[in-house]
Amino acid sequence: MEIINELSSLLNNELDAVKWLNDAFKELNRRVAKEAEFIDRLDRIARIDELKARLVREVDRILGEERSFESIFNTGKLFNGALGFFVGSMIGKILKQEKPLSKGYYLLNRELEKKSPFGTVMMALKKSRKIGDIEVIAVSRLAREARTTEGEIISSLESKGYSLMTPEELWESLHRLEEDIMEGKYKSEREQNKALLNYAKKRK
């Protein structure tokens, strides 16, 4: 009987040890899963930071080009205006008009009043694409090339399924998205993409 009691006691001890090991294993798995989830969040945030850096470089490049194009455009206006003033005034003088400079002033003002869009850049994201596929759209350049307005270009892009934000709005939205990711609100890039699109809709 004593042997049976000892065996029973040993068995209970073994069962307690197995239970303890099982509980410890579950706790370890829980901690590993929690750590893996935290690392995944950091990884997704790192990818967003890389995306922001790429987009900033692209926006800076486009805006630099826009400043150059605008400078060339304004220089051309001044040159053509001065030329128009000279030619118009000479014609007025040759024709012995009462106000020979009036034609020159007219041509000068006509050149100086010419306008063309410069410097508008929008960030475009399609519902069917990932956050990493955000495009930088040089709206002003497209408007100049198409000889239309920036508003028409923006409407055309939106009709094709793009959600548009200014660079500043996008930086703010991505910062907010990173905070939400750290809080565990989004488990996948698909959810992140949907959240960013919602931010774009709220902008309107």
Residue 107 belongs to a domain:
no
Alpha carbon distance 164, 123 (integer Å): 6
| Alpha carbons within 13 A on the beta-carbon side of 111 | 20
Residue 84 belongs to a domain:
no
Alpha carbon distance 60, 64 (integer Å): 6
pLDDT of 139 > 90? The answer is: yes
pLDDT of 119 > 90? The answer is: yes
pLDDT of residue 20: 63
User: What are 84-95's pLDDT values in tens digits?
Assistant: 777 777 777 777
pLDDT of residue 185: 83
The whole-number average pLDDT for the span 176-200 is 80
Three-state SS across 176-203? HHHHHHHCCCCCCHHHHHHHHHHHHHHH
CA dihedral 131, 62, 54, 156 (to 10 degrees): 10
pLDDT of residue 168: 92
Residue 10 belongs to a domain:
yes
Residue 6 belongs to a domain:
yes
Alpha carbon distance 106, 103 (integer Å): 5
Q: Which residues contact 110 (CB under 8 A, 6 or more apart)?
A: 81, 84
Residue 28 belongs to a domain:
yes
Q: Which domain holds residue 163?
A: 2-65+117-203
Residue 182 belongs to a domain:
yes
pLDDT of 9 > 70? The answer is: no
User: What are 35-78's pLDDT values in tens digits?
Assistant: 777 888 888 889 899 999 999 999 999 999 999 999 998 888 88
pLDDT of residue 125: 86
The tally of domains found in the chain comes to: 1
Residue 129 belongs to a domain:
yes
- pTM of the entire structure? 0.74
Q: Which residues contact 82 (CB under 8 A, 6 or more apart)?
A: 108
pLDDT of residue 30: 72
Residue 31 belongs to a domain:
yes
Q: For 22-26, 112-116, 187-191, which range has the lowest pLDDT when averaged over its residues?
A: 22-26
- Residue pointed to by tokens 């509980």: 23
Contact 117, 140 (CB under 8 A): yes
pLDDT of 173 > 80? The answer is: yes
